[in-house]
């Protein structure tokens, strides 16, 4: 099978098991503790923690998740390239159950897919189960053992050989020190030529026996005191290494040849990229592996390491950039910068001395863009980011390499040691911008180490000197108003040479003030630009741009690293982001004009927000009709297609003051000269059909905007409405998502998209009929249950009472039974029901003659905590709920005791 067929067969298999197939989450994690999304379960954590309800019916999901493990706790970066299986980017296939199926189904389906569908030889499979050592949590996972035992015995294999015990480290999963946790069961494959190791290589760190699938059974919660309590709802969380499975299926020629080592890199996952590298470099990939990690014994081994490094790192950089994470100076951004520089450095062994990664992006997009469409949408942005980063690094690399090689030659010739001094590593960094990690890579290639501790001492001394030299104090933006003005050149160019005038600190952030800037500073609803500041000694990411007075502030973020005053820089604006902003800003002018045409010439802008992702436009008006919204959207798109020129000109304010055809809505105070943006007409002639006083950036023609879509129209204040809209690629994505939703709906309904309205009418009519039938059925069933309860009424402490558990019924049925008993029973009724797995419903009713002795509200408020919940109500009727159904018998006895006066 091809890798695409393997991926799809996994998803199709679990679709057949009623799993909802969900899209991969972004590599930008929602958890603040993660650098990147690093596991398939990340996006489902809120469901596991019961913070959000499960959105899937039934509660099952499956997907392929993009993951990066580089930096932080999970860091495979330094191993990538030197073996067959380490990656920084990989796909994790997974299936999940949220309070539904558990160990039996998870194990049976794993066996069915791997053995019966994919044809893995069962004699080469080994399953691990949790067996605690002294002091470990929980007990031996007998349940998982029994299910695996059945499977292995079914094919004539000895479970004692093929089921291997694992300790807490290998077979007990915890989300954190506290919270959901549970035993796990892994599936390992023996890849030795004879396949007869009898489990001896399982969890031994041997690449000839590798884990391919981990089934995690989340059944406990870890408490702060170190104890473990059972969870009311149990979950399944699995993860299968996509690249590993592909390497086994393809590397063994569908299990017919185990004579060669299995490599993730010798699959069609990497082959297209390797073909492109071969074409670019003129070198061939030989698939050799160094005997010693970190040291190539031949030129071919060195080149093959480079192929693997580049193939892996290209994926990491491309997918992360597509998800909005670019190389930079802080946290995850710096990890990506290290990865890019590592790829560039290894590229030199293939003869690349100019940016090359950008030329490999189309190959990766062709190979994976259909599965991950974000690669297609962001292809030009990815290529631009990689080329810019490569070019910036290459400017500092050549001289640094020469300097390092001279020092390495001196050390090796002297024979007095095998370590590059911290002082030399720091000099490379300080004088030529050579990062420490690259010095370490080059040292390792020459069989040398680096005194990193000495480097860090010198680095901290420099930071301290820089802090003292700057003499920066924490100031407010308004304190900078008297600083030197910045010359803004961003209307004409997105790159400019500049000098650092000052480095200031604003709260937790450092900011650069320069004499010149191409970066637009946040103003008038348009967000500020991001980008990068480059010099011979380093690069600094610009997180945002703000202004006060005429002074531009390039925000670097919470960092100690900044260029010194008087440093010469090249400032570069993030081009794709700026262009997205310009599309959204220009279309606000068209939207304003269209409002006048369709709604009312008195509909005036009252505020706006323009970002790369969307625009919002506030205006005074009553609510728009759906027809008006459609007409506005149509009119704006017609003007976009006309591709009218967008121009701007500066004129004396006196020349335009009072002109009704030029919109002026930012206030009454203007300078002596103002900037007029016009659409249509002759540039500079102030004769366009749309003309506004505006200081923002815009497209050069309306055709650059592309598609325009109104997302919503709503009220934000009395007499003020808001339109939220998208343009360009964001509008395309919105339309595509809508199309996919309609296609999914049509598939579910079993009809063409055009027939959805008609089909929905039929479905709704049937639903209403079924609801009426269900209601009648429930009422009838409730009456039957009520009759049975009346027959079982008893006298407790002199009070007639009905106290009962209604298992597997639910809160709605419980209420129907109470209603059926109303007026038919004089006394106290207390009912409990299991609403769903891990959920309890309680209900109580007391007739008027007995209210002086007992009240329903008090019965419920006293009983609900015992089932882990709360409740209350009126003296005659009350409801409650909880999440501990195992305590229902105790609650019923508690109510009996209360009535008996005990």
* Distance of alpha carbon 130 from alpha carbon 539, whole angstroms: 49
357-368 and 299-322 are packed helices; what angle lies between their axes, rounded to 10 degrees?
70
- pLDDT, one tens digit per residue, over 560-585 is 778 888 888 999 999 989 999 999 99
Token pair in block for residue 754:
């055009």
* Distance of alpha carbon 375 from alpha carbon 24, whole angstroms: 13
Taking every pair of Cα atoms in the chain, the longest distance, rounded to a whole number of angstroms, is: 105
Backbone angles phi, psi at 328, to 5 degrees: -165, -155
Bond into 58 cis (ω within 30): yes
Token pair in block for residue 183:
């035993």
Token pair in block for residue 526:
């348009």
Backbone angles phi, psi at 499, to 5 degrees: -120, 140
Token pair in block for residue 4:
């695409």
- Residue 472: the pLDDT is 46
Q: Give the CA dihedral 394, 399, 404, 407, nearest 10 degrees.
A: 180
* 314 touches 370 (CB < 8 A): no
* Distance of alpha carbon 365 from alpha carbon 571, whole angstroms: 29
> Across the chain, how many H-helices and E-strands are there?
24, 33
Place of tokens 């994790």: 92
- Residue 72: the pLDDT is 55
Q: Per-10-residue mean pLDDT for the chain, 902 residues long?
A: 95 95 89 81 84 88 93 67 89 95 96 96 96 84 95 94 92 80 94 91 87 93 81 91 95 90 93 96 92 77 93 96 84 86 88 93 95 92 91 80 88 82 87 72 83 88 64 48 79 92 84 94 90 81 89 86 86 92 96 94 86 91 92 96 94 84 66 90 90 93 94 84 92 84 84 85 83 81 90 91 88 89 93 83 93 91 89 88 90 92 76
Give the other-Cβ count within 10 Å of 694's Cβ.
Answer: 23
Question: Closest by alpha carbon to 499, among 423, 415, 580, 571?
Answer: 571
Give the other-Cβ count within 10 Å of 721's Cβ.
Answer: 21
* Distance of alpha carbon 321 from alpha carbon 323, whole angstroms: 5
* 164 touches 202 (CB < 8 A): yes
* pTM of the predicted model as reported, rounded to 2 decimal places: 0.55
Sequence-ordered list of residues with C-beta below 8 angstroms from that of 865, at least 6 positions apart, any chain: 882
What secondary structure letter does DSSP report for 258? Answer: -
Question: Closest by alpha carbon to 701, among 748, 787, 616, 640?
Answer: 640
Token pair in block for residue 695:
């200081």
From edge to edge, which strands make up the β-sheet containing 673-679? 646-652, 673-679, 690-693
Sequence-ordered list of residues with C-beta below 8 angstroms from that of 739, at least 6 positions apart, any chain: none
What secondary structure letter does DSSP report for 84? Answer: S
Sequence-ordered list of residues with C-beta below 8 angstroms from that of 149, at least 6 positions apart, any chain: 159, 163
Sequence-ordered list of residues with C-beta below 8 angstroms from that of 408, at least 6 positions apart, any chain: 420, 442, 443, 446, 448
Backbone angles phi, psi at 901, to 5 degrees: 80, 20
3-state helix, strand, coil in the chain (%, to 5): 40, 25, 35
* 877 touches 814 (CB < 8 A): no
* Distance of alpha carbon 19 from alpha carbon 58, whole angstroms: 7
* Distance of alpha carbon 550 from alpha carbon 481, whole angstroms: 7
- Residue 443: the pLDDT is 86
Question: Closest by alpha carbon to 265, among 120, 84, 110, 41?
Answer: 84
Q: State how far the alpha carbon of 748 is from the alpha carbons of 11, 54, 62, 268, 765, in Å.
A: 18, 20, 18, 34, 17
- pLDDT, one tens digit per residue, over 504-520 is 888 778 899 999 999 99
What secondary structure letter does DSSP report for 525? Answer: T
Strand segments, DSSP code E, in 103-260 are: 125-130, 163-166, 172-174, 179-190, 209-222, 228-241
- Residue 224: the pLDDT is 77
* 88 touches 70 (CB < 8 A): yes
Task: Kindly write down the DSSP assignment for every residue of 723-775, as one continuous string.
Answer: EEEEETHHHHHHHHHHHHHHHHHHHHHTS-GGGHHHHHHHHHHHHHHHHHHHH
Task: Kindly write down the DSSP assignment for every residue of 360-411, as one continuous string.
Answer: HHHHHHHHHTTTSTHHHHTHHHHHHHHHHHHHHHHHHHHHHHHHHHHHHHHH
Residues across the chain: 902
Sequence-ordered list of residues with C-beta below 8 angstroms from that of 526, at least 6 positions apart, any chain: 520, 581, 585, 610, 696, 697
Q: Give the CA dihedral 631, 635, 638, 639, nearest 10 degrees.
A: -170
* 605 touches 589 (CB < 8 A): no
* Distance of alpha carbon 87 from alpha carbon 79, whole angstroms: 8
Task: Kindly write down the DSSP assignment for every residue of 793-842, as one continuous string.
Answer: -EEETTEEEEEEEETT--HHHHHHHHHHHTTT--SEEEEEEEEETTEEEE
């Amino acid at each position: 099978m091809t890798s695409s067929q393997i991926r799809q067969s996994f998803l199709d298999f679990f679709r057949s098991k009623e799993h909802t197939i969900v899209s991969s989450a972004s590599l930008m994690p929602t958890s603040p503790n993660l650098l990147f999304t690093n596991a398939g379960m990340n996006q489902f954590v809120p469901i596991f923690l019961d913070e959000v309800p499960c959105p899937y019916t039934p509660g099952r999901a499956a997907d392929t998740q993009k993951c990066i493990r580089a930096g932080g706790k999970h860091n495979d970066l330094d191993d990538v390239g030197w073996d067959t299986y380490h990656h920084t980017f990989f796909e994790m296939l997974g299936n999940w159950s949220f309070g539904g199926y558990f160990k039996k189904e998870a194990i049976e389906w794993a066996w069915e897919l791997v053995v019966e569908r994919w044809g893995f030889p069962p004699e080469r499979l080994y399953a691990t189960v949790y067996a605690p050592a002294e002091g470990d949590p929980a007990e031996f996972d007998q349940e998982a053992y029994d299910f695996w035992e059945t499977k292995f015995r079914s094919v004539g294999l000895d479970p004692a050989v093929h089921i291997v015990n694992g300790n807490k480290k290998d077979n007990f999963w915890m989300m954190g020190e506290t919270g959901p946790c549970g035993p796990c069961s892994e599936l390992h494959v023996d890849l030795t030529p004879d396949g007869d190791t009898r489990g001896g290589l399982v969890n031994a760190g041997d690449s000839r026996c590798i884990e391919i699938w981990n089934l995690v059974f989340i059944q406990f919660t870890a408490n702060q005191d170190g104890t473990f309590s059972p969870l009311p709802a149990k979950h399944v969380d699995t993860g299968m290494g996509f690249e590993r499975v592909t390497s086994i299926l393809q590397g063994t020629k569908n299990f017919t040849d185990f004579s060669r080592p299995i490599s993730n890199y010798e699959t069609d996952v990497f082959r297209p990229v390797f073909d492109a590298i071969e074409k670019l470099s003129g070198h061939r990939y030989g698939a050799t592996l160094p005997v010693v990690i970190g040291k190539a014994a031949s030129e071919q081994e060195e080149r093959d390491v480079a192929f693997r490094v580049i193939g892996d790192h290209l994926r990491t950089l491309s997918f992360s950039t597509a998800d909005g994470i670019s190389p930079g100076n802080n946290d995850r951004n710096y990890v990506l910068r290290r990865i890019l520089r590592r790829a560039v450095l290894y590229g030199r062994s293939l003869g690349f001395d100019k940016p090359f990664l950008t030329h490999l992006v189309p190959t990766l997009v062709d190979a994976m863009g259909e599965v991950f469409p974000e690669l297609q949408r962001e292809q030009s942005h990815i290529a631009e980011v990689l080329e810019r980063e490569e070019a910036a690094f290459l400017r500092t690399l050549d001289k640094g390499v020469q300097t390092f090689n001279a020092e390495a030659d001196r050390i090796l010739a002297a024979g007095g040691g095998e370590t590059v001094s911290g002082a030399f590593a720091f000099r490379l960094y300080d004088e030529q911008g050579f990062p420490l990690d690259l010095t370490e890579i080059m040292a390792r290639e020459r069989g040398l180490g680096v005194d990193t501790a000495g480097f860090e001492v010198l680095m901290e001394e420099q930071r301290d000197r820089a802090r003292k030299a700057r003499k920066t104090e924490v100031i407010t933006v308004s304190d900078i108003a008297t600083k030197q003005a910045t010359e803004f050149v961003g209307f004409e160019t997105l790159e400019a040479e500049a000098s650092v005038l000052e480095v200031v600190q604003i709260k937790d952030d450092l900011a650069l003030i320069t004499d010149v800037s191409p970066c637009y500073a946040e103003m008038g609803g348009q967000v500020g630009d991001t980008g990068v500041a480059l010099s011979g000694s380093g690069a600094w990411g610009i997180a945002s741009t703000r202004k006060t007075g005429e002074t531009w502030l390039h925000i670097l973020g919470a960092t100690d690293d900044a260029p010194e005053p008087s440093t010469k820089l090249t400032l570069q604006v993030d081009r794709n982001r700026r262009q997205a902003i310009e599309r959204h800003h220009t279309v606000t002018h068209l939207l304003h004009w269209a409002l006048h045409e369709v709604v009312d010439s008195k509909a005036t802008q009252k505020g706006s927000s323009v970002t790369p992702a969307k625009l919002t436009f506030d205006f005074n008006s009553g609510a728009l009709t759906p027809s008006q919204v459609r007409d506005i959207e149509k009119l704006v798109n017609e003007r976009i297609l006309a591709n009218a020129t967008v121009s701007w000109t500066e004129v004396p304010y006196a020349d335009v003051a009072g002109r009704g055809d030029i919109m002026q809505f930012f206030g009454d105070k203007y300078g002596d000269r103002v900037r007029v943006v016009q659409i249509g007409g002759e540039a500079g002639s102030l004769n366009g059909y749309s003309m506004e006083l505006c200081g923002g950036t815009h497209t050069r023609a309306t055709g650059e905007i592309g598609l325009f879509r109104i997302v919503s129209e709503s009220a934000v204040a009395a007499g003020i409405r808001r339109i939220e809209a998208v343009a360009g690629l964001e509008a395309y994505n919105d339309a595509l998502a809508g199309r996919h939703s309609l296609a999914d709906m049509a598939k579910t309904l079993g009809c063409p998209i055009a027939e959805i309205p008609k089909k929905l009418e039929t479905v709704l009519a049937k639903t209403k009929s079924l609801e009426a039938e269900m209601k009648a059925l429930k009422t009838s069933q409730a009456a039957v249950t009520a009759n049975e309860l009346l027959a079982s009424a008893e006298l407790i402490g002199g009070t007639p009472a009905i106290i009962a558990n209604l298992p597997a019924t639910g809160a709605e049925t419980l209420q129907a039974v109470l209603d059926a008993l109303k007026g038919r029973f004089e006394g106290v009724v207390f009912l409990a029901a299991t609403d769903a797995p891990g959920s309890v419903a309680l209900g109580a009713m007391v007739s008027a003659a007995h209210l002086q002795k007992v009240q329903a509200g008090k019965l419920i408020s006293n009983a609900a905590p015992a089932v882990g919940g709360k409740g209350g109500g009126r003296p005659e009727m009350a409801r409650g709920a909880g999440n501990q159904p195992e305590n229902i018998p105790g609650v019923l006895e508690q109510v009996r005791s209360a009535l008996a006066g005990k």
